Structure 1
């Protein structure tokens, strides 16, 4: 077991998150912003037909939102997630099997992508502008955050279950049982938590799905880029720390 400082890995996790945020920003700008513009156009057309006046121009232009605003938000998001993932990596390294830094980083990244992104997404998928009642925004946000918290807790419970079953069932069978238990628990959470369907009847269904797929692609890019970058940086940090111990040989 290496004795590298968690601070070193935390800094590398934040750097990897910054790089992943840059990759996610490119994907968001190239395939996501066109969907946002289309949704805004539908919203403005509906407001014009209804005789509603939006008044003055917004304080931040749409062009600035789609470039500097989007980039700043995605980069900060990537740095924050990178720091959190690095701390999870510090705990997982050496505790989930005989995996090296890159393999551990890949497993941690995949687990976080499933629990933090996929599970909440399938219950409360992202919606473009003009979809959703502004009066229920706080409730929708609370439910989404609750789904994330439940997903993380259920994943932790499944991990504990798998480790306790491993001595009797073996690692492979215990992992299968724990995974099935996680899926069942997530399904029950889906059934118990209230659903949200505020999509207008006349809103193009194709645009909604294109926006949701673009959102999922952005998240997948973020986590994949982070896993690759952090695995490389973590291995470079850990290998030199372990090398001096291996280099010292007893003299006869």
Structure 2
């Protein structure tokens, strides 16, 4: 059954990537174009910028907005869809009497919280024009470390809840586990480096719209995975 759920999860992830790509193409990409335009105008006022900030693009914007965006999201969707299916196969039936579709939506909601919302509090999404080139490695490593901390903290919190459930009421065990998760996340955010490279004159409205579009793209991706995979998994469970 796990093998059947796995390929269904990957297909659900690819379909979700297609939907998210169409949304990002219409909503998010125009914000990126505006940010790149700001970068070019801003660089033109600095004499030490080579070619007035007009460096030759290794990959054209047309490719980035089209095939590049679709390929990246499709690979990401297939990967997270497969992982989503494996977690579903492991966790289904362990959290009370809940149906496959409801459990898939619950997992999608947890994924949004752990992978999108919590890391975004420490490291919110920024357009390409924001950030220095020599700190890309640091910012990428810090962001993935925050994701790992969020997911790892949730796993530890779940184990704490299971251990406390033997001696405490269910609601008390849940509250203590949530408090432990929040404490781990806050400590991790305090220890991880802070990154604030938004130029003082960068348009606040553009930055806000870009971040909203980025979060909305992730929400659509995960919601679609939860809905499509839930429907598919329900058929597998019924046949079983």
TM bin (shorter chain) = over 0.9
For residues 202 and 157 of structure 2, the distance between their equivalents in structure 1, rounded to whole angstroms, comes to: 39
TM-score for the superposition, normalised by structure 2: 0.93
RMSD value over aligned CA atoms?
1.5
Q: Distance in 2 between matches of 1:59 and 1:141?
A: 20
Q: Would you say 1:6 and 2:5 are equivalent positions? A: no
Write the distance in 2 (CA, Å) between the matches of 1:108 and 1:27.
22
Q: Is the aligned partner of 1:21 residue 2:17? A: yes
How far does residue 168 in structure 1 lie from its aligned partner after superposition?
2.6
Structure 1 residue 177: Cα displacement: 2.1
Aligned length: 237
On the 8 A contact 2:40/2:54 being kept in 1, the answer is no
Would the alpha carbon gap of residues 55 and 38 (structure 1) be closer, same or farther in structure 2, given more than 3 Å must change?
A: closer
Q: Does 1:36 align with 2:32?
A: yes
1:48 and 1:206 mapped to 2: Cα distance? Answer: 22
5+ residue gaps, structure 1: 242-252
Unmatched runs of 5 consecutive residues or more in structure 2: none
Corresponding residue for 1:49? Answer: 45
Displacement after TM superposition at 1:156 (Å): 0.2
User: How has the CA–CA distance of structure 1 residues 161 and 106 changed in structure 2, closer, same or farther, with 3 Å as cutoff?
Assistant: same
How far off is 1:92 after superposition?
0.6
Query: 1:56, CA displacement in angstroms?
Result: 6.3
| Equivalent residue number for residue 246 of structure 1 | none
Task: Tell me the CA shift for residue 217 of structure 1.
Answer: 0.5
What is the aligned partner in structure 2 of residue 191 from structure 1?
Answer: 190
Cross-structure match for 2:177: 178
Question: Deviation per CA, 1:161-211, whole angstroms, max 9, x where unpaired?
Answer: 111222332323322221222122211211222211011111112211111
> How far, CA to CA, are the matches of 1:55 and 1:37 in structure 2?
14
Moved more, 11-20 or 50-59: 50-59
Establish whether residue 209 from structure 1 lines up as the match of residue 205 from structure 2.
Answer: no
| Structure 2 CA distance for aligned equivalents of residues 176 and 103 of structure 1 | 22
State the secondary structure of the residue aligned to 2:166.
helix
Distance 2:132 2:43 in 1: 15
Cα deviations across residues 73-104 of structure 1 (Å, max 9, x unaligned)? 11111111101111111111112222221122
Alpha-carbon distance between aligned partners in 1 of 2:154 and 2:226, rounded to the nearest angstrom: 19
CA distance in 2, matches of 1:59, 1:190: 35
Aligned 1:1-252 pairs, distance under 5 A:
5-51=1-47, 52-53=50-51, 54=53, 57-241=56-240
Distance 1:152 1:60 in 2: 33
* Distance (whole Å) between structure 1 residues aligned to residue 148 and residue 215 of structure 2: 19
Tell me how far apart the structure 1 counterparts of residues 94 and 187 of structure 2 sit (CA, whole Å).
29
- Quote the residue 1:245 is aligned against: none
Work out the CA distance in 2 between the residues paired with 1:121 and 1:79: 22
